[in-house]
Chain A
């Protein structure tokens, strides 16, 4: 089973600590400067009027980035849209690295933005490729674990599968015992 279209969301630690509407301006600058290598950024979607929604999104051709508020949880999100080569574990690493890089860039603009160093989510944004089933978990978990061991340098983490509701996308929340460094994650 080839897993594609990973979404990584790095959780905000505690309160958001910034006015999310201010992110609109920063994302516009990213589009103007085409800040993300390998991704053509096109536009900014401000969706803050929708409760527990996608927040503010920098829309790209190959990937989107967002200050996301789905499920009422703030986080910095990266969503891969095109098909990537490599192994499933490679694609997990790429998703986390790109979310971490975007988070660091956002923190440059908003030093008050504090991200959790012990929890994040991974979702596979394609129901046909990865239905929300135990079979998908059986394939995805080893790939995620392999990628995380590589990124974190240890195996001290837990995967918790999201809601088993079949209508939802497959996803896991990862919690680590030891805090991880965003910079190390971004460097992968």
Chain B
């Protein structure tokens, strides 16, 4: 613990809103109780998650060192949660509703990054901040310092309402119906700690968008989304929202469905409260893997869900805050510091020209622009944060936004200040061009810090960023506008489903070794508020993923029709030819001796591993039959996607079911050679050998993937529409990944050569 712990508590007395202060005091007490073993570790884990204090890789005290999994010599103290070492540092997630920050808050973030973390503050894909390597006992000091500037970590993690995100252009965009920022602000504070949000079985993510057609709010991929709309009623213009529910990414993505086409703004809070009450009451509690609201909407259908929500809405006891909070919030509209202006002369300054082209956008208000500050992989140093605070104070009325693309957006910049702003940003290395372009790669934390990471998403993201930056001047304009997003696993925190080219981490066994791979996901759409989700087409070794980007983009440039967007291009040419082009990246992979680098991940020279599994078992056997079966399953799931793309949802869904069976048969025959092709026999053998024994259980999601198989088998012969076929295909893909993982578990990594 820091020496200043008591000093901060004393110094900030009276400067922290009462409710937030009481929360921190309570957390501090709970830390003390847990240290004395007076509260259960499970209870403490949920408590700390609800305060934004999350676990980090290796906090179970185990770490693979490239040769073997070893125990880290942490002191023997009570745990922070089941299997979570007390002294293992963790991550603190800091909520930033709608990404809105002021200079003072940026400065505090800088101080905390410097004093408690590794000097870096990280902007996430949900407009939050994350600080890594935080010691649990320092948590209360950080929370107090944040609370003193109006920021909370409350409910940033855990089964709670997560950060309320919103389009960073809200209030200055020419496409929007109206500025959604005040409503996002009101919702965030209304729901925080609200009794109707206390019973959730899983997290709940809200998002706001100012319009339906652009990407910025991504409402379609949220548990609840609000799209601003204006209607004329009785000759008056009325503000309201289209509200959508049950969207989400994660392993099984869903597009949100419409709860109501229009609810006046005064109805936003009560209707949301009703949604929360319904979700809290009827959402799944025991099985975490089916507990998001999307599963309840699936189970009931949107009509029944809507009926229930509106019925509950009528029963709610009226709350004056439903309208008071809106009035307060509506007063917070931003405005300019300086008079409107005109763009300066560029005078051959190519850096300025490129930056204006990529990062600067006209506002709706004439004479003003927004300027994007691109951050490499969402990272910014403490010194840069302080400089940014000064810059924001110099050019604006002291407001800035974080974005879901892990950048900042400075708004209300007078056009006449653009060159000066660029110069100030450049002086602190914050003037990289190419915001929201192909070089602006988004990546989740992945294996760097996330406990669930399979491959190094930040490593790959960084590598792609470097390579694309180096050749950015030669890149075709069509390529420049692509979005690349990388997740370290199927959970999709990097939003790979909605990228033009998405990646998520998987592992494969090659030449007897585990090798980090990335599934390539095509067909996603960033536009239209994340209007459609992609599907995986092929997994390639992590170190070959940049080559895959080259192949895909070259093919696109050569074969696209005039002005054809990437999403439309993939739809037209189909995923088959692209997969064929990528197939050679998986062929004739060199052995470990010839190319050891292939067997480690980006930025991590250790021989790759997915943890401690497989240790001590023999490996390197001939596994031809398994590889054959699993290869067929992968082909089938790919074909299922092609059928769906071609408009044949029924065949897509049926083929996905065949892929399930093929993969199940593949793993069953590892133990039982004589398994037949009879679906019932495959399922029965799988159940007995892999389900009942829990051999197939995933360390984090338990029986989830096996249950996908059973559900597909139980539903054989069902009718598919595009939505249900898409889900079945996505589930089949995840089941195949789980088969790979199970197989890896059955086969150990061979001993690496002696260290040189």
Query: Nearest chain B CB to A28's CB is how many angstroms away?
Result: 6
B405 at the interface (CB under 8 A from A): no
Cross-interface CB contact of A128 among B11, B70, B119, B429, cutoff 8 Å? B11
Query: Nearest chain A CB to B441's CB is how many angstroms away?
Result: 11
Contact A32 B66 (CB under 8 A): yes
Q: A40-B72, A45-B133 are in contact. Are A50 and B118 (CB under 8 A)?
A: no
Cross-interface CB contact of B132 among A45, A71, A169, cutoff 8 Å? A45
Contact B118 A45 (CB under 8 A): yes
A52 to B385, CA, bound (A): 13
B687 at the interface (CB under 8 A from A): no
Contact A49 B57 (CB under 8 A): no
Contact B3 A42 (CB under 8 A): no
- How many chain B residues touch A (CB < 8 A): the figure is 49
B360 at the interface (CB under 8 A from A): no
Cross-interface CB contact of B603 among A46, A54, A57, A128, cutoff 8 Å? A46
Residues in chain B near residue A82, CB distance under 8 A? 1
Contact A53 B119 (CB under 8 A): yes
Residues in chain B near residue A57, CB distance under 8 A? 118-119
A149 to B227, CA, bound (A): 67
Chain B residue, CB-CB nearest to A128: B4
Residues in chain B near residue A32, CB distance under 8 A? 65-67, 70
A4 to B603, CA, bound (A): 33
B115 at the interface (CB under 8 A from A): yes
A47 to B117, CA, bound (A): 13
A52 to B2, CA, bound (A): 26
Cross-interface CB contact of B465 among A24, A45, A49, A128, cutoff 8 Å? A49
Contact B1 A83 (CB under 8 A): yes
Contact A28 B605 (CB under 8 A): yes
Contact B87 A40 (CB under 8 A): yes
A31 at the interface (CB under 8 A from B): yes
A19 at the interface (CB under 8 A from B): no
Among residues 37 to 51 in chain A, which have CB atoms less than 8 Å away from a CB atom of chain B?
40, 42-43, 45-47, 49-51
Contact B119 A126 (CB under 8 A): no
Contact A129 B72 (CB under 8 A): no
Q: A59-B89, A59-B118, A167-B107 are in contact. Are A50 and B381 (CB under 8 A)?
A: yes
Chain A residue, CB-CB nearest to B111: A127
Cross-interface CB contact of B377 among A34, A49, A81, cutoff 8 Å? A49
A82 to B605, CA, bound (A): 29
Contact B429 A52 (CB under 8 A): yes
The digit string for B641-660, where 1 denotes a CB below 8 A from any CB of A, is 00000000000000000000
Contact B3 A83 (CB under 8 A): yes
Query: Nearest chain B CB to A60's CB is how many angstroms away?
Result: 9
A53 to B75, CA, bound (A): 31
A94 at the interface (CB under 8 A from B): no
Query: Nearest chain A CB to B445's CB is how many angstroms away?
Result: 11
A5 to B135, CA, bound (A): 14
Contact A126 B65 (CB under 8 A): no
A25 at the interface (CB under 8 A from B): yes
Residues in chain A near residue B381, CB distance under 8 A? 50, 52-54, 70
A61 at the interface (CB under 8 A from B): yes
Residues in chain A near residue B120, CB distance under 8 A? 45, 47, 50, 53-54
Contact A126 B429 (CB under 8 A): no
Cross-interface CB contact of A42 among B2, B66, B88, cutoff 8 Å? B88
Cross-interface CB contact of B3 among A21, A52, A59, A129, cutoff 8 Å? A129
A121 at the interface (CB under 8 A from B): no
Residues in chain B near residue A47, CB distance under 8 A? 118-120, 379
Query: Nearest chain B CB to A131's CB is how many angstroms away?
Result: 10
Contact A50 B8 (CB under 8 A): no
The digit string for A1-44, where 1 denotes a CB below 8 A from any CB of B, is 01011000000000000000100110010011010000010110
Contact B377 A28 (CB under 8 A): no
B30 at the interface (CB under 8 A from A): no
Residues in chain A near residue B162, CB distance under 8 A? none
Q: A128-B7, A129-B7 are in contact. Are A43 and B57 (CB under 8 A)?
A: yes
Residues in chain A near residue B383, CB distance under 8 A? 52, 70-71
Residues in chain B near residue A34, CB distance under 8 A? 73
The digit string for B79-91, where 1 denotes a CB below 8 A from any CB of A, is 0000000011100
Among residues 115 to 140 in chain A, which have CB atoms less than 8 Å away from a CB atom of chain B?
125-129
Query: Nearest chain A CB to B145's CB is how many angstroms away?
Result: 9
Contact B114 A125 (CB under 8 A): yes
Query: Nearest chain B CB to A9's CB is how many angstroms away?
Result: 12
Residues in chain B near residue A59, CB distance under 8 A? 89, 118, 133
A47 to B1, CA, bound (A): 25
Cross-interface CB contact of B462 among A2, A49, A52, A83, cutoff 8 Å? A49
Q: A59-B133, A129-B3 are in contact. Are A51 and B429 (CB under 8 A)?
A: yes
B514 at the interface (CB under 8 A from A): no
A82 to B135, CA, bound (A): 10
Among residues 112 to 137 in chain B, which have CB atoms less than 8 Å away from a CB atom of chain A?
114-115, 118-120, 132-133, 135
Contact B604 A126 (CB under 8 A): no
A31 to B383, CA, bound (A): 28
A24 to B448, CA, bound (A): 12
Residues in chain B near residue A5, CB distance under 8 A? 2-3, 115
Query: Nearest chain B CB to A149's CB is how many angstroms away?
Result: 25
Residues in chain B near residue A168, CB distance under 8 A? 386
B672 at the interface (CB under 8 A from A): no
Residues in chain A near residue B114, CB distance under 8 A? 125, 169
Residues in chain A near residue B58, CB distance under 8 A? 42-43
Q: A5-B2, A59-B89, A61-B89 are in contact. Are A49 and B70 (CB under 8 A)?
A: no
Contact B135 A81 (CB under 8 A): yes
B74 at the interface (CB under 8 A from A): yes
Q: A28-B65, A40-B73, A127-B115 are in contact. Are A49 and B376 (CB under 8 A)?
A: yes
* Chain A contact residues, CB within 8 Å of chain B: 2, 4-5, 21, 24-25, 28, 31-32, 34, 40, 42-43, 45-47, 49-54, 57, 59, 61, 64, 70-71, 81-83, 125-129, 167-169
- Besides A47-B379, A51-B429, A125-B115, 7 more A-B contacts (Cβ < 8 Å) are A5-B115, A49-B466, A53-B119, A61-B74, A61-B87, A82-B1, A126-B2
Q: A-B pairs with the 10 shortest C-beta distances?
A: A128-B4, A32-B65, A51-B429, A4-B3, A128-B7, A54-B119, A25-B605, A49-B376, A53-B381, A61-B87
17 contacts between A and B (CB under 8 A): A5-B3, A32-B65, A40-B72, A42-B63, A43-B63, A49-B376, A49-B379, A53-B381, A54-B118, A61-B135, A71-B383, A81-B135, A82-B1, A83-B1, A83-B2, A126-B115, A129-B4
